[in-house]
Structure 1
Amino acid sequence: MDKVKVLEKYLPSDAAPLIGRWIDYFKCEFKISRNRGSKFGDYRSPYGGKGHRISVNYDLNPYAFLVTTVHEFAHLHTWNEHKQKAKPHGTEWKANFKKMMQPFFEKDIFPADVKHAITSYLNNPAASSCSDLNLYRSLRKYDVPKESVLTVEKVPLKALFKIKGGRVFRKEEQLRKRFKCVEIATKRVYLFSPVAEVELVED
């Protein structure tokens, strides 16, 4: 099956031809992956006889899939230019991400709020990666709603919630950007991102 036709199932259709050309141009193995709770996408540089490899989670909405794909291709491009000398989300990567995002801005592929969030993210050197919360929240608005799933920031203080795998936590106060949460079984303290997806537990 034509790779562009496959990509159109996951990306905004106007974006698929360019991503298809990048896969060919960079001789990249591009894989649509299962959901990985800890990350949306992944880039692996050439190693052990294998070339560039990119994987992106299959269950992202089209805009999140595209932002993640460009994010990973910017890592590939930065590696080609600088090898290991550039920081993972340093100045060189940011410049490439901005440059590689430009064609999609010109095609007007993103909704205004997502475009604004990407622009402010790129203009903010303090945001070290796509864990930028403003951008993440903008992209999440376009997800298909999931029953019974909410984010840690929406969980009431002192309420119980569980994560995938069934471990149960109690939400405590916010410490800078993350929430302190206590695992009920072990009494150990963990810090959760405000946008981590969890399920409320009834007392």
Structure 2
Amino acid sequence: MPDFSQQLSQYMPEAAAPIISAWINDTGCQFRIARRRRTKLGDYTAPFRGAPHKISVNHDLNPYAFLITTIHEFAHLQTWQQYKHRVKPHGMEWKGHYKQLMAPFLRLGIFPPDVRYAILQYMENPAASSCTDVHLYRALRKYDENVTEQCTIESIPTNSIFALENGRVFQKLEKLRKRYKCIELSTDRTYLIHPIAEVILIKEAAGIKK
């Protein structure tokens, strides 16, 4: 069987590469290093009309984020093998496989202490994307190359005016549980936006919109 360890070690911690290489061989998965995608870090496609399992992971992730995303997608593969389409994509079955697949990497001490701690917290209730977990996202961001300080919802003052990447303009209001209440200025509609959503600050601490 081919050994993909050398190629994989360019994108993930070296100690993890042989394990992932074995997973690829054992499942017959078509594993692809993908270009950067803003809407997702990786994806899984189930077998269809004779095609194999397919997993892709963005090439520009730091090694720990790349590995976590790879484990996330292999958990989808295992869930499909056991249940096909009979369960929710990120339901209890997927969460169980995710925790099981993550375990050997935690035992090997592959992750730095801050990332390991964030993973352990995240694993209490894994979500559809590691980016939705604020603590894990912050821990992983520290290991990005050429990291620059990004402007996020949580980093700007309340009542500030900001724009999203798509050009829509909002005013930040109060925090409701885990997300910030924001009002879109062109429509007066209210939205709840994740605290680590990247934004463009237009006007700091403006007066409350009437």
Work out whether the TM-score is over 0.5.
yes
CA, structure 1 residues 163+58, in 2 after alignment: closer, same or farther (shift >3 Å)? farther
Q: Indicate if the aligned counterparts of 2:53 and 2:77 stay in contact, CA closer than 8 A.
A: yes
Q: Which residue of 2 aligns with 1:138?
A: 139
- C-alpha distance after superposition, 1:90-113 (max 9, x if no partner): 332222212211221222100112
Residue 43 of structure 1: SS of its match in structure 2?
A: strand
User: What's the offset of the Cα at 1:202?
Assistant: 4.8
Range 185-194 or range 47-56, more displaced = 185-194
CA, structure 1 residues 173+34, in 2 after alignment: closer, same or farther (shift >3 Å)? farther
TM-score norm. by structure 1 comes to: 0.85
Residue 170 of structure 1: SS of its match in structure 2?
A: strand
Cα distance in 1 for residues equivalent to 2:150 and 2:65: 18
Cα distance in 1 for residues equivalent to 2:94 and 2:143: 26
Amino acid at match of 2:47: P
Cα distance in 2 for residues equivalent to 1:93 and 1:22: 17
Quote the sequence identity (%).
50
TM-score norm. by structure 2 comes to: 0.82
Unpaired runs of at least 5, structure 1:
none
Cα distance in 2 for residues equivalent to 1:201 and 1:173: 18
Q: Which residue of 1 aligns with 2:177?
A: 176
User: What's the offset of the Cα at 1:133?
Assistant: 2.7
Cα distance in 1 for residues equivalent to 2:188 and 2:14: 48
Amino acid at match of 1:110: F
What is the root-mean-square deviation of aligned Cα atoms in Å? 2.3
- C-alpha distance after superposition, 1:57-92 (max 9, x if no partner): 222211111111101101101111121233322332
User: What's the offset of the Cα at 1:159?
Assistant: 1.6
2:13 maps to 1:12: yes
- C-alpha distance after superposition, 1:105-124 (max 9, x if no partner): 222100112212222322x2
Q: Indicate if the aligned counterparts of 1:23 and 1:30 stay in contact, CA closer than 8 A.
A: yes
Write the mapping of 1:1-203 to structure 2, written as runs, cut at 5 A: 3-122=4-123, 124-125=124-125, 127-129=126-128, 130=130, 131-144=132-145, 146-147=147-148, 149-202=150-203
